[in-house]
Amino acid sequence: MSEAAATVPVMPDAEDVRRVALSLPDTTEKIAWSMPTFRVAGKMFATLPEDETSIAVRCPKEERDELVLAEPGKFWIADHEAQFAWVRARLAAIEDEGELRDILADSWRQAAPSRLLDAYPELGLPDPPRG
């Protein structure tokens, strides 16, 4: 494989979502509504709906609307989730595993109990810029 091919980012897939989500503290996977869901301390923070080409994650409504307006090719709001603080993200539009981790960790923080937030203050914060 050429060096250029080795540096091309690979779009995250359902297995990457599963691996990253389950790497977050106190996270479990449970099938609900015929799809994988990921929970922290029993509270759902991510799902792999439809045919596992997207993820649904927690997102405050005011931030969610800004995300959808800023990046409509990446984020959207499913009709049945419009009244809830959730947003969908297309896996094909997520740049790399770092962005996937940021999205999942941010959602995890919104569902995690304070004991976990206190124990893992670094989770959900963007990676420092690489120099």
Which residue type sits at 102?
Answer: D
Residue 56: inside a domain:
yes
H helices of the chain, where?
3-7, 14-23, 61-70, 97-111, 114-119
**Is residue 73 in some structural domain?**
yes
pLDDT in tens, 32-88: 999 999 999 999 999 999 789 999 999 999 899 999 999 999 999 999 999 999 999
Closest to 102 (Cα-Cα) out of 34, 28, 24 = 24
pLDDT at res. 50: 77
Q: Would residue 57 count as lying in a domain?
A: yes
pTM, two decimals, is 0.87
Q: Is 121 part of a structural domain of the chain?
A: no
pLDDT for the residue numbered 126: 52
Q: Which domain range does residue 40 map to? A: 14-113
CATH value at residue 20: 3.90.1150.30
